């Protein structure tokens, strides 16, 4: 009733080569943005994840570690998914392996 029919206009015919080239030039800034994003954000993040995975896989009994919650302790047990940490004399907690953020040099907790 209130909506009238809309008719699309036909686009004028353009030269075959010029139209393709202008559309590629229009996409160039977008492609460059993704390339910069990859090298600035994505690639360093993947490297960081790879280094963290290698550190977690290399955990050994007796290593002194820091967890993501800030707890310092010595590794006493190692399982597939969990690590036992001695945080005080006679106090052992179980944490996930992925919660280990940093391995400290030997003798740091004394």
Residues 20 and 49 in one domain: yes
Residues 65 and 100 in one domain: yes
Tens of each residue's pLDDT in the chain, 110 residues: 677 776 666 666 555 556 778 888 888 999 999 999 999 999 999 999 999 999 999 999 999 999 999 999 999 999 999 999 999 999 999 999 999 999 999 998 87
Residues 66 and 97 in one domain: yes
What local confidence, expressed as pLDDT, does residue 59 receive?
Answer: 95
Q: Could you give the number of structural domains in the chain?
A: 2
What local confidence, expressed as pLDDT, does residue 21 receive?
Answer: 82
Task: Say if 11 falls within a structural domain.
Answer: no
What local confidence, expressed as pLDDT, does residue 64 receive?
Answer: 96
Residues 53 and 65 in one domain: no
Residues 94 and 69 in one domain: yes
Element (DSSP H or E) covering residue 17:
helix 16-37
Strand extents, DSSP E, 1-110: 64-67, 72-78, 82-88, 91-96, 100-104
Task: Say if 1 falls within a structural domain.
Answer: no
Note down the domain range covering 93. Answer: 61-104
Q: What pTM, to 2 d.p., does this model score? A: 0.67
Task: Say if 88 falls within a structural domain.
Answer: yes
Sign of the C-alpha dihedral computed for residues 67, 73, 74 and 79 taken in this order: negative
What local confidence, expressed as pLDDT, does residue 86 receive?
Answer: 96
């Amino acid at each position: 009733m209130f909506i009238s029919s809309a008719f699309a206009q036909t686009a004028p015919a353009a030269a075959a080569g010029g139209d393709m080239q202008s559309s590629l030039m229009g996409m160039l800034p977008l492609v460059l943005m993704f390339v910069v994003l990859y090298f600035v954000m994505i690639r360093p993040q993947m490297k960081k994840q790879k280094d963290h995975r290698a550190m977690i896989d290399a955990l050994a009994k007796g290593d002194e570690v820091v967890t993501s919650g800030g707890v310092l302790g010595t590794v006493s047990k190692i399982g597939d998914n969990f690590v036992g940490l001695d945080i005080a004399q006679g106090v052992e907690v179980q944490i996930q392996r992925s919660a280990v953020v940093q391995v400290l040099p030997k003798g740091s907790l004394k």
